[in-house]
Amino acid sequence: MSDKVFVPDIPQDRLLYSNCWEDADLLVAALDPGPADTVLSIGSAGDNCFALLSRSPKAVWAYDLSWPQCCLIHLKKAAIAVLSHEQLLQFLGFQESTDRLQVYEQHLAPQLPPEVWVYWSKQAQVIRQGVVHAGRLENYFAKYRRYIQPLVASEKVLDRFFSGPRTATDLAFFKRRVRNPIFRGLLRFLLSRPMLQLMGRTPAFFNEVKGSVSAFLLQQFTAFIDNPESYKNPYMQFIARGTFPNNLPFYLRPETLGLIQQNLDRLHIRQAAIQEGMRDQAGITLINASDLFEYMPRAAFHRFAQRLKTEVPTLRRIAYWNLMVERVLSKDLPDDFVPLQLDPEMQDQIFFYQRFVLEALKP
C-alpha cells in the first residue's frame, strides 16, 4: 500500500467557511459519541466539533489543512469558554453588536495561543463584521441574497416561507416562485461551476465532479423548496437571511452550550490532513469525515480506505457526506466496511448533499 497522502490545493490566505455546512443534529445522532469514544473530525469552522463535545467523549481531535480554519476554531473555542450566551451570539455575528473588537481584545485575545493571536491581530475587519459572515462560502450566499433572491422573495414572502406549517395554497405559491424563469436562469448562473469556483468553493474541490453542477444544485434546491417541512430548516434561514433567527446551530443552543463549555478542554486542534490524525492519535473510535472524499481521485480514496482499516482498527463508526461525487467505503472495500442503517427520522437538513453515509469496520 502506498504511503502517499492526497492533499488538495487549499488556499491559506482566507477563511473558506465560517459556519459548518453539514447537519450537526444528524451527525451527533448518527455517530452517537459517549464517554468512551475518541473522535477524529475534519475541523472546518469548528461547529460540528463543538456539537460532538456535547456528548462528553474522551476527546475530539479536529484536523484541518487550512490555517485560517484552525484559527477560527481556536477563536470560537475561546469565545465559548468566556462569554455569556448573549455575548457569544453578538460577538460571532448572529446578533447586532458595536463592540466586537473590544470584546476580542479584552476577553478573547489573552486566551489564544501566540501563533493564533498573530493571525487574528491582522483580522480586525473580520472581527468587527462578525466572524460567521467572513467565509468565502458565506460571502457567496450574501451575493445570492443581494442580487437573486429579491427577484422572487421580498421580506414579506420570506416571512411567509419561514412562518410555520404550509397550507396547500402556500405550497402552490412557492412552487410557482421557484419556477420563475428569470429567477431560475440567474440561479443557474450563480450555481454554475465557474461562478462557484470564482466565489464559493475552492476550485480543487470540483476536480472529480462530472456533469452539470448547476443542474444538480438547482434540482436539489427546487426539491427542497417543494418540501412542506422546509420552513423549519435553520441552514436555509442563514442562506436567505444571513442569520439563524428561529433555530440556532446545535453548538449555540442553550441546552447544549453548557455541556460543550464543560468539555472544551477535550478539544484538540491540529493543522494537518486527517490521515495524520489516523496515524498519530491512538484509540480513534469515531470519525467525522465531512465531505472529504468529494475531491479525492478514486485511487486516493481507495488508499484512504486501506489506511483506515489498518491504522484505525478501533473504529466504531465513520460518517461523511457525498455532494456530487460518489465515494462510499463499503462499495470500495465491501469485505472491510459495512453500511449502518439510519433511523428513518434522521433527515439531513442540508438540501444540497446527495447522500449522508454512516459505516463501520466489519468485525
What are the pLDDT digits (tens) for 151-172?
Answer: 878 899 999 989 888 899 999 9
Q: Is the pLDDT of residue 262 over 70?
A: yes
Q: What pLDDT sits at residue 140?
A: 87
- Report the pLDDT averaged over residues 89-95: 96
What is the pLDDT, as a whole number, of residue 260? 99
Q: For residue 319, how many other CB atoms are within 10 A of its CB? A: 24
Grid coordinates representing 243? 442569520
Give the pLDDT score at 153: 85
What DSSP state is assigned to residue 145?
I
Determine which of 182-196, 220-234, 259-273, 347-361 has the lowest per-residue pLDDT on average: 182-196
Q: Give the single-character DSSP code of 46.
A: S
Q: What is the pLDDT of residue 305?
A: 96
Of 322 and 4, the one with more pLDDT: 322
Structural domains of the chain, ranges and CATH numbers in brackets: 24-134+250-361 (3.40.50.150), 137-241 (no CATH)
| pLDDT above 60: residue 110 | yes
At a CB cut-off of 8 Å and minimum separation 6, what does 270 contact? Answer: 61, 62, 63, 64, 70, 276, 277
pLDDT of residue 5: 66
Task: Tell me: pLDDT of 243 over 90.
Answer: no
* C-beta contacts of 303-306 below 8 A and 24+ residues apart: 303/1, 303/2, 303/4, 303/6, 304/6, 304/275, 305/329, 305/332, 305/333, 305/336, 305/337, 306/1, 306/333
Higher pLDDT pick, 188 / 259? 259
Q: Whole-angstrom Cα distance, residue 58 to residue 55?
A: 10
All three cell numbers of 160, joined, read: 411567509
Question: pLDDT band at residue 1, thresholds of 50, 70 and 90?
Answer: very low
Count of positions (residues) in the chain: 363
pLDDT digits (tens, 9 = 90+) for 11-64: 677 899 999 999 999 999 999 999 999 999 999 999 999 999 999 999 999 999
pLDDT tier at 2, thresholds 50, 70, 90: very low
| Core vs surface per residue 197-219: b (16+ CB within 10 A) or e | eebbbbeebbebbeeebbebbbe
Bigger pLDDT: 149 vs 61:
61
CA distance 269 to 69: 10
Least trusted range by pLDDT, from 11-20, 106-115, 319-328? 11-20
Give the integer Cα–Cα distance in Å for 226 and 221. Answer: 9
Q: End-to-end CA distance of the chain, in Å?
A: 22
Q: What is the dihedral of CA 121, 124, 130, 131, to 10 degrees?
A: -40
